[in-house]
Amino acid sequence: MSLSQERAPVYEALEEFRRMRVVPFDVPGHKRGRGNKELREFLGEKCVSLDVNSMKPLDNLCHPVSVIREAEELAAEAFGASHAFLMVGGTTSAVQSMVLTACKRGDKIILPRNVHRSVINALVLCGAVPVYVNPDVDHQLGIALGMKVSQVEQAIKENPDAVAVLVNNPTYYGICSDIKSIIALAHAHGMMVLADEAHGTHFYFGDNLPAAAMKAGADMAAVSMHKSGGSLTQSSLLLTGPEVNPGYVSQIINLTQTTSGSYLLLSSLDISRRNLALHGRETFCQVVELAEYARAEINAIGGYYAYSRELVNGDSIYDFDVTKLSVYTLEIGLAGIEVYDLLRDEYDIQIEFGDIGNILAYLSIGDRRQDIERLASALAEIKRLYQKSRNGMMSQEYISPQVVVTPQDAFYARKESLPLKETAGRVCSEFVMCYPPGIPILAPGERITDKILDYIVYAREKGCSMTGPEDEKIEALNVLL
């Protein structure tokens, strides 16, 4: 059967089901909203009437044979993959499924340390051993960059028994590694290549954007459709290449993914894939134009630095995602998180995140020129009202870790809780991170240093949202006995 990207099989099946007026004696218990008036009024009758359970006319996410399978085939074609899986546990679930597919206990995986916590969580689950490539740091911006091909080559040389290489494509800030060369290098040594494309959905549908992982020959890619692709929060795709067994991947996914897949999420993936396949190129051309306009407006203010492809050096910054509106703030004497808080609290503008030295305004298919102008005006006023000396400001965003034991061994080891200031020199057994972006400052198995403790205290004082430890106030850490 030939595929038509104008189809949306899950959405179409739901619309047909809605017209059938079926009497529900199954879950969910709100029974199309009748049993929960407040929920029905809040979300709307149409929405709750389509919050249904798996059944023959609607297929089953755990073992798709009809409409969900068709939707996955269409997604695979649209993204240039051999197979696609609709994911309802977010890209966290897709990333973890990639790692669990490629690795078992004791296997080595080569990866940059500036990965999302979901990657290291997967190592806790499966017991794989991380071989970290510590990325270079841009010392002006304080951010971690991509992996150099030479760094990956050295890691492969020192760990020829590694089974996979994982690549961020791109980083949260828009930095891209030379993914094509890394894929060729890894494949030459019999290793799989996994791509975390949480922030790269648009690469598949844009002109003059960085290389998309599947088109570059990656074995697997986790794609956040809900970020730049327009689907509902928590919906994602897992893409696989021709050398990956989709039946085994399905088994891996079903180890952790819900057996009660949300049809609201599934239909949003289906509709969004259709929109991207039919209109993605023109849409993301407009997003790029908006981003370039925003950069020009913000850089004209002075003090801020909205960076772009001028950073590209052909190696640790092989390419840059120009849709990412990343802005350096320290020259006006404010940490990124301080600008983030001011934008929200004083100007009713919610951006994606602020860290020690940068902010990120996430631009995608729903943004408008007038919104950009409002953001630029607010940034100009923040500079005028709040600018101060940058003396005493911390600028280093990324600190290379000292890995002592594997994440799994550390997470499940005997441990004790100590006051933060007493943990220097000990081995951490939990995560500490600012969220977003969710890149661990500390991960299980890493040695705690004075530099890391200074960073944690500083970030907490500046207002970063710190997550991970058992102690919610981040005044104590669990360390190995």
Instruction: Write the secondary structure of 374-424 as one string of H (helix), E (strand) and C (coil).
Output: HHHHHHHHHHHHHCCCCCCCCCCCCCCCCECCCHHHHHHCCEEEEEHHHCC
pTM of this structure? 0.95
Q: What is the pLDDT of residue 404?
A: 94
Strands annotated E in 191-234: 192-197, 220-223
In angstroms, how far is the first alpha carbon of the chain from the final one?
Answer: 60
Task: Return d(Cα 280, Cα 286) in angstroms, integer.
Answer: 10
DSSP-derived secondary structure letter, 24? P
- What fold, for 280-386? Aspartate Aminotransferase, domain 1 (3.90.1150)
Per-residue model confidence (pLDDT) at position 463: 87
CB-based contact 306:325 (threshold 8 Å): yes
Could you list the pLDDT tens digit for every one of the 481 residues in the chain? 578 999 999 999 999 998 888 888 989 999 999 999 999 999 999 999 999 999 999 999 999 999 999 999 999 999 999 999 999 999 999 999 999 999 999 999 999 999 999 999 999 999 999 999 999 999 889 899 999 999 999 999 999 999 999 999 999 999 999 999 999 999 999 999 999 999 999 999 998 999 999 999 999 999 999 999 999 999 999 999 999 999 999 999 999 999 999 999 999 999 999 999 999 999 999 999 999 999 999 999 999 999 999 999 999 999 999 999 999 999 999 999 999 999 999 999 999 999 999 999 999 989 999 999 999 999 999 999 999 998 888 876 778 889 999 999 999 999 999 999 999 999 999 999 988 788 899 999 999 999 999 999 998 888 888 899 999 989 999 999 9
Check residue 176 and give its pLDDT: 98
Q: What pLDDT, on the 0 to 100 scale, is given for residue 1?
A: 58
| Spatial CB neighbours of 370, under 8 Å, sequence gap ≥ 6 | none
Domain ranges of the chain: 280-386, 407-480
Nearest Cα to Cα of residue 379 among 325, 345, 342: 342
127 vs 444: CA distance, rounded Å: 12
DSSP E strands in 149-259: the ranges are: 164-168, 175-176, 192-197, 220-223, 236-240
The token duo for 297 is 């407006």
Q: Which CATH class is domain 407-480?
A: alpha beta
Can you point out the beta strands (E) in 4-82? none
Which pLDDT belongs to residue 414?
97
- Where do we find the tokens 């149409």? 46
Closest CA to 313 of 173, 175, 169: 175
Asked if 53 and 27 touch (Cβ cutoff 8 Å), the reply is: yes
pLDDT at 344: 97
- CATH fold match for the domains 280-386 and 407-480: no
The predicted structure's pLDDT at residue 221? 98
Q: Is 295 within 8 Å of 306 (Cβ atoms)?
A: yes
Q: What is the pLDDT of residues 21-72, one digit of tens each?
A: 888 898 999 999 999 999 999 999 999 999 999 999 999 999 999 999 999 9
